Amino acid sequence: MSEKISSANGFVQRLMKKVPYTPAAPGLDDLKTSKANKGFSRLSFFKRRIKLKPNSSISIPLGFVLLFPSIVVLLILILVVKHPSSPGRILIPAGTPPSIRKISEKHDRVFATGCLNPEDAAKQPRANAAFVVLARNQELEGVIQSLKSIERHFNRWFHYPYVFLNDGEFTEEFKSGVQNYTSGKTEFGQIDPSMWGFPDWVDIEVAKEGIRKQGDAVIMYGGMESYHHMCRFYSGFFYKHELLDKYEWYWRLEPEIKYFCDITYDPFIEMARNNKTYGFTIAVKELKETVPNIFRYASAYKRKNKIKSQGLWEMFLEPPPEKAAEKKDNREKTFPNAILQTEVGHQNIEEIDPEDMEGEKYNMCHFWSNFEIARLDWFRSKEYEDFFQMMDHSGGFWMERVSFFVLEFANILTGVQWGDAPIHSLAAGALLAPKDIHYFRDFGYRHTTIQHCPANAPARQSPHIPYLEKTTLVEKERIEEDEYWANPDPPKENGVGCRCRCDTDIRDVEGKEGSCLAEWVEVAGGWASP
Ligand code: GDP
Ligand code: MN
């Protein structure tokens, strides 16, 4: 009998090694005691003490030996996933606020973090400044949208004047139309043909004929000609317009733009107080495949005038390749200084790799010039004028060689690299230092599908100041519009905005590919927070 039991026990013991313990299994209950005694239950397996060395007197439970490494592995996993630069961050549930990185304040800092009292600020004297709006009569509606936005968020307190410019004549409808929405003085100017259109040193017939021969370019031509004139006007003439003569500062305003935050201080006064020359809200790369001839000339201007970078030029350069020094040596062999220093207009310049100047390559970054707050006397300086003249006349160089000229001219017409944005930016790069530039990071701004809109500054918000704009005739709509702005976005750590309510259909340009924030930060002193 005892033999039977022990053989049955032996069977159970063998079974227990294969099958996990099941409490509900019948007939096993009474066996449990003997099992436990013999140390075969699952728990007791973990409780079993083992010695690390065969003849050591110290023993530790087996469970601990097995559990310890698992805990360590788990901890490492948690740390890796939680690290801010980990791709595994996606695993963290939504709702965690994205961190806003602080920029070094070595050369530049926001003028105000969060809200100030605009009524107090408006008691101070104004700067000698105006809004500049270039527009066509048919853009009235878009202009009104922009005026409503800037009045609501800023000019209702400060009442800066507006200068409207047009190559044609403004209609009475346009003039009276905009005046319904402006709280500052308005002036309307027509642009003289000397500032708009083909310069007299361009043979228009040759240019047009050449373009006609370019097949597809014919289609482009009609629409693009005025665009070219516009870019040239904003590059080299707007600041010479007589209506701007009396002003020291300007703020450029385009049709169909939006502001998202309240601007509760006077940016002109702050620009002056901080010795700034040029302010931007968005800096982007031109992503289209283009031959950046513009950089070749900008670079030639710099070299010809023996201008040394004051630290901003680097914002517009591709980072030097690893073998930069080696490359430069090779270049010197291929392109003797005589060629590199050729005057623009000399035949030899075409032998220079148009994308590559002395090892420097344009990274296509530019301040997006549809928003600008800047000093007019910088544009009026001899240095800027020389720069513009050189850029402008560079096209003339190709005149004698029609095929090249047409190509060059087609580039001008598409307005990409010859837009006023890279002209202003490369001039700034050559002539200014990072400390002369201001990034209006606290301004929420949108033009077409690009926007920059900051998070609101924590603990620095103040209540919405009602603004029932008078021109919306339907009472209900007026109230609804104001209520929209009465509900700003929640503040976030490191936010700088005041009562911003950002559009949510597109992402902030700061975090997008094609943004030049990193390039700006690099020259502005680096990041101040991870
Ligand atoms: P984009 O922002 O580069 O797409 O260029 P826009 O078409 O917005 O033009 C830039 C600015 O110049 C806007 O303020 C336009 O109203 C203005 N503009 C463009 N072309 C003309 C033109 O032929 N005549 C006038 N008067 N203004 C123009
Ligand atoms: Mn525009």
Burial 403-428 (b: 16+ CB within 10 A, else e): eebbbbbbbbbbbbbbbbbbbbbbbb
pLDDT top residue among 57 and 184 = 184
* Residue 337 pLDDT level (bands cut at 50, 70, 90): very low
Whether residue 133 is predicted with pLDDT greater than 70 in this model: the reply is: yes
Task: Please provide the average confidence, as pLDDT, over all residues in the chain.
Answer: 78
Type of residue numbered 2: S
pLDDT (tens digit per residue) in 1-20 = 333 334 434 443 443 333 33
pLDDT top residue among 178 and 6 = 178
Q: What average pLDDT does this structure show over 113-117?
A: 97
* Phi and psi, residue 283, nearest 5°: -125, 125
Residue 238 is encoded by which pair of tokens? 């707007």
* Residue that is written with structure tokens 């605009």 in the block: 118
Cα–Cα distance, 147 to 256 (Å, whole number): 9
Whether residue 348 is predicted with pLDDT greater than 60 in this model: the reply is: no
Cα–Cα distance, 260 to 262 (Å, whole number): 7
* Residue that is written with structure tokens 């750590």 in the block: 493
| Centre of ligand 1 from the C-alpha of residue 420, in Å | 11
| Centre of ligand 1 from the C-alpha of residue 313, in Å | 28
For ligand 1, say whether the CB of 166 is within 6 Å of any of its atoms.
yes
Q: How much of the chain exceeds pLDDT 90, in percent?
A: 54
For ligand 1, say whether the CB of 139 is within 6 Å of any of its atoms.
yes
3-state secondary structure of 116: coil
Give the number of other CB atoms < 10 A from CB of residue 452. 28
Considering only 7-21, 378-392, 478-492, which range has the smallest mean pLDDT? 7-21
Cα–Cα distance, 508 to 506 (Å, whole number): 7
Whether residue 481 is predicted with pLDDT greater than 80 in this model: the reply is: yes
For ligand 1, say whether the CB of 286 is within 6 Å of any of its atoms.
no
For ligand 1, say whether the CB of 136 is within 6 Å of any of its atoms.
yes
Q: What average pLDDT does this structure show over 202-222?
A: 52
Whether residue 401 is predicted with pLDDT greater than 80 in this model: the reply is: no
Considering only 67-71, 290-294, 492-496, which range has the smallest mean pLDDT? 290-294
pLDDT top residue among 130 and 74 = 130
Catalytic residue among 286, 372, 408, 519: 372
The pTM for the full model equals: 0.75
Identify which of 420, 408, 384, 199 has the alpha carbon closest to the alpha carbon of residue 301. Answer: 384
**Nearest-atom index, ligand 1, CA of 168:** 26
* Residue 508 pLDDT level (bands cut at 50, 70, 90): very high
Cβ atoms of residues 390 and 338 within 8 Å: no
Identify which of 180, 168, 192, 278 has the alpha carbon closest to the alpha carbon of residue 242. Answer: 192
Cβ atoms of residues 270 and 511 within 8 Å: no
Cβ atoms of residues 301 and 390 within 8 Å: yes
**Nearest-atom index, ligand 1, CA of 166:** 26
Give the number of other CB atoms < 10 A from CB of residue 292. 23
Q: Ligand 1 pocket test: which of 164, 175, 230, 241 has the largest number of ligand atoms within 8 Å of its C-beta?
A: 230
Whether residue 45 is predicted with pLDDT greater than 50 in this model: the reply is: yes
Q: What is the pLDDT of residue 42?
A: 59
Cα–Cα distance, 502 to 454 (Å, whole number): 8
| Centre of ligand 2 from the C-alpha of residue 258, in Å | 12
Type of residue numbered 452: H
Cα–Cα distance, 50 to 1 (Å, whole number): 36
| Centre of ligand 1 from the C-alpha of residue 133, in Å | 9
Q: Is 469 a catalytic residue?
A: no
* Residue that is written with structure tokens 């209540």 in the block: 463
Considering only 145-154, 173-182, 358-367, which range has the smallest mean pLDDT? 358-367
Q: Ligand 1 pocket test: which of 166, 221, 227, 238 has the largest number of ligand atoms within 8 Å of its C-beta?
A: 227
Q: What average pLDDT does this structure show over 278-295?
A: 77
Give the number of other CB atoms < 10 A from CB of residue 268. 25
Identify which of 384, 395, 391, 394 has the alpha carbon closest to the alpha carbon of residue 307. Answer: 384
12: region left, alpha or beta (phi > 0 left; psi from -120 to 50 alpha): alpha
Protein residue with least CA distance to atom 27, ligand 1? 135
For ligand 1, say whether the CB of 230 is within 6 Å of any of its atoms.
yes
Helix/strand/coil (H, E, C) string of 136-200?
A: CHHHHHHHHHHHHHHHHHHHHHHCCCEEEEECCCCCHHHHHHHHCCCCCCEEEEECCHHHCCCCC
